[in-house]
Structure 1
Amino acid sequence: MPQFDPTTWLPQLAWLAAIFAVLYFAVIRPTLPKVGRVIDERETRVAGDLDAAEAAKAEADAIRTRYDTGMAAARDAAQARVAAAQADAAGAAEARLKDLAAVLDGKATDAAARLAGARDAARATLAATTTELTAEAVTRLTGLSVPPAEIEAVLSAQK
């Protein structure tokens, strides 16, 4: 193999240096700064995007905090309104129950008075009817006519 022959090493090294120099100066040297600028631009863009993402996250966190605070305040206000409405409804119901109880007590008193009047009237009617029937029965059985006052006196004495 000619590469391992020590007599051809010097021309091979010369050609290697020449080709390396041509490639370095023709290809790498002009493109290396461009690649460096592209890498720098990408790093700058990525850093800017990261900063923008952190700012957006901070803003989103602030919005979330305001939202949570607003929701908690709204929830507390709604619960307070519900409690107030329940208290108002309970007070109104209690007032209506008191009014209804007063009306019913009045009606019960009136009914009791009417019942007592009806009972007294029924007793008076019963007493008069009993007196009449007793007088008629005594007249039919014995043929005697007994005055109603005597019959009432006897019936009253038996009570």
Structure 2
Amino acid sequence: MPQLVWLAAIFAVLYFFVVRPTLPKVGRVIEARETQVSGDLAAAEQAKGAADEIRTRYDEGMTEARKSAQAAVAGAREKAARASEARMAELSAALDAKTGAAMDGLMRARSEAEAALASSAAALTADAVKRLAGIEIAPGDAQAALAESVKHG
């Protein structure tokens, strides 16, 4: 039994002289740690919220920039298409004018060639009739006779 008394006495001395003065200090340290951890968690939550907000604004800005770029590209395509159509219309009109002028020139040349051929044929026919039959025919009469024979085949 004396051992239990000594155990209780030593326990009481240790409790009152060692544990009791240090217990409030340990409590304050634990509270300080809890306060610091809570503050760090709150700061982390605020930082996460701010980062999420920044990310949202960034995504919105990128979406707006993408839409703006797509609109600019569409506008440029449309403008290029209009310019291309206008240029094609210009070129088509110029080609039509050149084609018309070329056709007119060809028709004139054909008419002139036909007239020259008819005149030459009439002169040759008149000369051939004069040499073969000894009859002199006017070039106009020879030309009329040739035209009549071309009609009847």
TM-score bucket of the superposed structures, by smaller chain: 0.7 to 0.9
Give the structure 1 partner of residue 26 of structure 2: 35
Query: What is the distance in 2 between the residues matched to 1:100 and 1:151?
Result: 49
1:78 aligns with 2:78: no
Give the structure 2 partner of residue 25 of structure 1: 16
Cα drift, residue 147 of structure 1: 3.0
22-31 vs 52-61, greater mean Cα deviation: 22-31
Give the structure 1 partner of residue 81 of structure 2: 90
Cα drift, residue 92 of structure 1: 1.3
Cα drift, residue 68 of structure 1: 1.9
104-113 vs 139-148, greater mean Cα deviation: 139-148
1:58 aligns with 2:54: no
Give the structure 2 partner of residue 11 of structure 1: 2
Per-residue CA deviations over 1:117-152 (Å, capped at 9, x if unaligned) read: 011011011112222333344345445443322211
Please show how residues 112-151 of structure 1 align to structure 2 within 5 Å: 112-151=103-142
Q: Which aligned segments of 4 or more residues in structure 1 are displaced greater than 6 angstroms?
A: none
Letter in 2 for 1:122: A
38-47 vs 143-152, greater mean Cα deviation: 143-152
Give the structure 1 partner of residue 102 of structure 2: 111
Query: What is the distance in 1 between the residues matched to 2:85 and 2:53?
Result: 47
Select the structure with the greater relative contact order (CA < 8 A; seq sep ≥ 6). Answer: 2
Cα drift, residue 53 of structure 1: 0.8
TM-score by length of 2: 0.86
Query: What is the distance in 1 between the residues matched to 2:109 and 2:140?
Result: 24
TM-score by length of 1: 0.83
Identical columns (%): 58
